[in-house]
Structure 1
Amino acid sequence: MADHAAMENLLRCWLRETDIAHRDGELLTLDLSGTRIEATIAHWSASGWHRFDEVRIDDRPGDAATLAALIAREGALLRGVPPYAGSELVMRALDSVRRVADHVAHRRTHPDAPADTTPFLDGEQALILGHPLHPTPKSRESLTDTECSAFSPELRGSFPLHWFAVEADLVSSDSALERSAEAIVAEFADRDAPDGTVLVPAHPWQARDLAGRPDFAELLTAGRIRDLGPSGAPWYPTSSLRTVYRPEVSVMLKLSLALRITNSRRENLRKELHRGVEVHRLLEAGIGESWQAAHPGFDIVRDPAWIALDGPIGLDAMLRANPFGPNDDIWCVAGLVSPQPGPSRLRRLVEKLAETTGGSLADVAAVWFARYLQAVIDPVLWLYRTYGIALEAHQQNTLVVLDSEGWPAGGRYRDNQGYYFAASRISELEKLLPDVGVASDTTVPDDVAEERLGYYLGINNLLGLVGAFGSQGLIAERPLLELARQFVEDRDAPILREPVLRSKANLLTRLHGMDELVGPVSTQSVYVHLANPLWTRDR
């Protein structure tokens, strides 16, 4: 399953990012520097979530290692970069295959979550295969197998936090709450801070990595930072690995983790820490009240406080609200649609609803999708239309709230990185919060904000959901695309305005070795054009 899933990902990426394959009926063919690739098409998707049966390379059974090497070499030639530039892509693709194989094997022998797992955590642990349009979705090449067992949500891992006591003058923090970040941390720490110091938690892998950095080691040697080691009750990794959760604690922690996960090293930048608190203050200044009046079922999971070591980057914690009770049926959308060893949670939901309502799978899928548009997509479009704030609402950043029967009833957005303030609207936001967007570096040209909204909400989230329904045989994609087209047309959403869309190219971004958190927002990834399946000539 893991090797075949990796080949499907590589083919989907290549199709989206180059558009040079040849399709003849149910056979897809590619010529990669004289090597012939043939893939039998099981499902052809207007939204890009194609499915393939047998894959053959020069008339022999294909494998992910060979396909990754061929695509990396051909991609390097097309992009004018040295052939060896693809070596990292190949290594990470194979590491991802190995990790997915471990995940699948674990789920086959342990199919049921522990009895005390909350629905929220169950959803965070369900993204077994990863992003269907990424060449290395589960690469974790710096982790040992033992570390993966503890740190991976797919393996239902858990671990205690690692603690440092830092001299108070080396620490900065901010909180938009009545309590300071230091006071919030003290509530779940299992120890008191030594006199003159502040407790700062870290991911255990990050703690080990920091100890090997000269600037951090110098502070340890000087006694300005004391390594207190791991302690306390276990925390659970969520789908991002570095955001950790304990059901009984009022906050989650978004920790720095210098692993390259998908396209970036996941260490918190100071501007991102500022951004989370800034957005909370904007919401409290009036945006939240008007948004809730228009869309009471939707909200942002707030990031109202942070604490960080000054100087060397990498020791910090974003304090994220934990609003989810043990009975709240709320799921990460990426985990909901992710294929499992067995049917996805989405398929099981639709099948159950079809059984209880007496409707067909296609009829139920169409109603579920329509309710999702109202509960999740509409509030994000409203926020941009009303305030010029675009959210990076891809499927992993988006949570869907399900009612007691399993229908979408609301949604949540979470990610202190993924906000874009349209420059033309910044004066309106400054009336609510002076100097908004300055420390957080969140203001971007309008076209960048709309491009990001179009990709993350439109292509990844909305069209990705259409692709999930279609590729899992629940309903043909065309009726869902028509529902989506009418929906966004009624709201004059940016995704509908052009016949082509700008889409992030994950394979080419990896081929170029780019880090999405480094450099100007407009140049952090490779983007390509693809036909907009929602666009019609009669607009």
Structure 2
Amino acid sequence: MRRPPTAEAGLAAELASVRPDLVAEYTGGLPGARAAVLTRLWRGLTHDPLPWIARRAPGDDGLTLRLTDGRRLHGPRPDPYATGAYVTAVRLDEVTYDDPARLMTDLAVPRSAAFAAELGHAVASLALSRTGARVHPPEWPGRGRAWEWEQRVTDGHPFHPNCRARPGFSVAEQLGYGPEHGPVVELELVPVPAGECLVTGVWPRWLREAGRLVVPVHPWQAAHVLHRTGERRLSAHPLMALRTLALPDGPHVKTALSARLTSSVRDISLGSVAASAALSDFAETVAARTDGLLHITRTLGAVAAGSPDLAALLRESPEEYAAEGERVVPVGALAATGLPGTPGWRDRFAALALTVGLRLLELGVALEAHGQNLLVVLSPDGDPVRLVYRDLADLRVGPARLARHGVALPELPARILTDDERTLRRKLFGSLVAGALAGTAGSGPALRAAMESAVRDLPQTPDLAALLDEPLPAKALTLMRLSPRSSGDQWAELPNPFQYDGP
């Protein structure tokens, strides 16, 4: 049976009409993009608790997955902490696959066809992201605005198979809105009667008119969801999150974007708007207990015009927390573009990140500290000196722990409150260790080496004991895309970094 046209071919045809000068570079980049997505998929297949995998059998020549229907899937021995594209092909019975979308199609497990389409989009969009992107390895000590560092990231999430899937975005829109292409995005300024809006914090005067509030709207949202334009426009620089943008000399604006990127639709819930001020004040209070090692980018104001599709948040720029000569860089940007060359940098960064993360966890606050939310303040020589955290919507807060430490609990959304220690640890360890630290380390052995140095001087708490002795939790990103009707996060258990020597 003849296969339908692939996402790769469809994007190539569209690119030929929009930017024919980029077609050759895009086509040449497809094998590397397939390997990058296949590596991420192999991580999920080898570690997520997938119900149709009966057994995983390691051997001298790699790892064999025995499926419940009797088939065998064979590939390299996996390193769940590796960020390089080391999986170029796997074998299903006697057929070799270098294309993750075709592999998922032929696995023919529940929802594999839909996931295969997502993987196809991820490959094509990743190749496009690497095509013509403004990627320049930094020189240390480096300069530049924080948003310029964010625009150096081409590959998206370091471990998600849908790392660059942008369904619903045309080629022209990807080139025009994707941060890796360095565009200036013109936000639509949509006025809404003030009486129709939910507002928290302080909505600035320059976004107010007589009887109306002005909501910054992403142009993709305006065209595809709202079907309306604003009366004015505002120039901004897109960040790693794509729908969050930096104003030239002001705060960051988080816009609603009702498209599925990686796993989630990126609108802004009314609950998030309602809770934003209380969360911001609470997080700032808790961060003050880190002796200056952590700063929170405060939410200045939030507005929703009756719908998650028409909402926006304004928050401080992380650069507010950099002194003269310092830079603030998202950890994901460092992992993608190269770490400072200072000897022992990974060890010092791991010590800083674990000190802050575990101290807050002991107090009762688990950060979603992955490489996009967590930023590091670098000295003029590139040394990590402080952390900055942004985007508070996915915190988890333990009331009992807060009470033990005398921290007042304000009125916060019920969904973020839990005294379940496993849930709190999963939130922090899965994002910080299996995410940000693994991303900067690049492999299991390198992660273990950095953490071994870092944990020597940390307080001996039950949380640290769990980190040292138990399997490391990580979001089961492949399982979650194959079971979209299951609400909430699902989890995999990775080999503990302290007991792992790599493939």
TM range (shorter): 0.7 to 0.9
1:302 Cα offset (Å): 1.5
Q: Secondary structure at the match of 2:386?
A: strand
For 1:483-498, what aligned pairs fall within 5 Å after superposition? 483-486=453-456, 490-494=460-464, 495-496=466-467, 498=469
Letter in structure 1 aligned against 2:144? T
Letter in structure 2 aligned against 1:25? D
For 1:8-87, what aligned pairs fall within 5 Å after superposition? 8-18=39-49, 20-30=55-65, 37-40=73-76, 45=79, 47=81, 49=83, 52=86, 54-57=88-91, 58=94, 60=96, 62-71=98-107, 73=108, 76=109, 83=110, 85-87=111-113
Aligned partners of 1:38 and 1:54: how far apart in 2? 12
Q: Secondary structure at the match of 1:205?
A: helix
1:238 Cα offset (Å): 0.8
Q: 1:47 to 1:140 in 2, by over 3 A?
A: closer
Identity within the alignment, %: 23
Give the match for residue 258 of structure 1.
Answer: 258
1:453 Cα offset (Å): 1.8
Letter in structure 2 aligned against 1:527? W
Aligned partners of 1:174 and 1:94: how far apart in 2? 40
1:441 Cα offset (Å): 4.2
Q: 1:481 to 1:149 in 2, by over 3 A?
A: same
Aligned partners of 1:487 and 1:97: how far apart in 2? 43
Q: Deviations over 1:40-74 (max 9, x none)?
A: 56xx5374657525425335462223223245x3x
The one of 323, 334, 338 equivalent to 1:345 is: 338
Give the match for residue 203 of structure 1.
Answer: 218
Give the match for residue 505 of structure 1.
Answer: 476
The one of 463, 488, 496 equivalent to 1:532 is: 496
Structure 2 residue 291 is the aligned partner of structure 1 residue 317: no
Q: 1:61 to 1:513 in 2, by over 3 A?
A: closer
Structure 2 residue 377 is the aligned partner of structure 1 residue 401: yes
Structure 2 residue 326 is the aligned partner of structure 1 residue 333: no
1:436 Cα offset (Å): 2.3
The 8 Å contact of residues 138 and 262 in structure 1, kept in 2 or not, is answered as yes
Letter in structure 2 aligned against 1:345? G
Q: 1:70 to 1:119 in 2, by over 3 A?
A: farther
Q: Secondary structure at the match of 2:245?
A: strand
Give the match for residue 6 of structure 1.
Answer: 37
Give the match for residue 359 of structure 2.
Answer: 382
Aligned partners of 1:147 and 1:268: how far apart in 2? 21
Give the match for residue 274 of structure 1.
Answer: 274
The 8 Å contact of residues 153 and 238 in structure 1, kept in 2 or not, is answered as yes
1:489 Cα offset (Å): 6.6
Q: 1:28 to 1:323 in 2, by over 3 A?
A: closer
Q: 1:48 to 1:375 in 2, by over 3 A?
A: same
Q: 1:483 to 1:112 in 2, by over 3 A?
A: closer
Structure-1-length-normalised TM-score = 0.76
Give the match for residue 124 of structure 2.
Answer: 98
Aligned partners of 1:427 and 1:528: how far apart in 2? 31
Q: Secondary structure at the match of 1:395?
A: coil
CA RMSD of aligned residues (A): 3.1
The 8 Å contact of residues 484 and 534 in structure 1, kept in 2 or not, is answered as no
1:266 Cα offset (Å): 0.8
Unaligned 5+ runs, structure 1: 77-82, 187-192, 213-226, 339-343, 354-363, 516-522
The one of 426, 429, 432 equivalent to 1:457 is: 432
Q: Secondary structure at the match of 1:90?
A: helix
Letter in structure 2 aligned against 1:321? E
For 1:74-473, what aligned pairs fall within 5 Å after superposition? 76=109, 83=110, 85-107=111-133, 110-112=134-136, 118-175=144-201, 180-183=202-205, 185-186=207-208, 193=209, 195-211=210-226, 229=230, 231-249=232-250, 251-283=251-283, 286-291=285-290, 294=291, 296-310=292-306, 312-324=307-319, 328-338=326-336, 344-346=337-339, 349-350=340-341, 353=342, 364=343, 367-385=344-362, 387-425=363-401, 427=403, 432=408, 435-438=410-413, 441-447=415-421, 448-466=423-441, 468=442, 470=443
Q: Which runs of 4+ in 1 moved over 6 A?
A: 428-431
Q: 1:302 to 1:417 in 2, by over 3 A?
A: same
Letter in structure 1 aligned against 2:101? A
Letter in structure 2 aligned against 1:375? L
Aligned partners of 2:203 and 2:457: how far apart in 1? 42
1:97 Cα offset (Å): 0.5
Q: Deviations over 1:435-464 (max 9, x none)?
A: 4224x7431233222221221223222344
1:426 Cα offset (Å): 5.1
Aligned partners of 1:3 and 1:501: how far apart in 2? 27
Aligned positions, number: 454
Letter in structure 2 aligned against 1:198? L
Q: Deviations over 1:301-359 (max 9, x none)?
A: 1113211213x331111111114179642221122112xxxxx422xx33xx3xxxxxx
1:182 Cα offset (Å): 4.0
1:119 Cα offset (Å): 3.8
Structure-2-length-normalised TM-score = 0.81
Stretch deviating more after TM superposition (200-209 or 484-493): 484-493
Q: Deviations over 1:216-273 (max 9, x none)?
A: xxxxxxxxxxx55264342111111111112312x11111110101111011112222
Give the match for residue 449 of structure 2.
Answer: 479
Q: Secondary structure at the match of 1:444?
A: coil
Letter in structure 2 aligned against 1:120? A
Aligned partners of 2:412 and 2:146: how far apart in 1? 31
The 8 Å contact of residues 424 and 446 in structure 1, kept in 2 or not, is answered as no
1:288 Cα offset (Å): 4.3
1:129 Cα offset (Å): 1.7
The 8 Å contact of residues 366 and 425 in structure 2, kept in 1 or not, is answered as yes
Q: Secondary structure at the match of 2:473?
A: strand
Q: 1:402 to 1:504 in 2, by over 3 A?
A: same
Letter in structure 2 aligned against 1:408? P
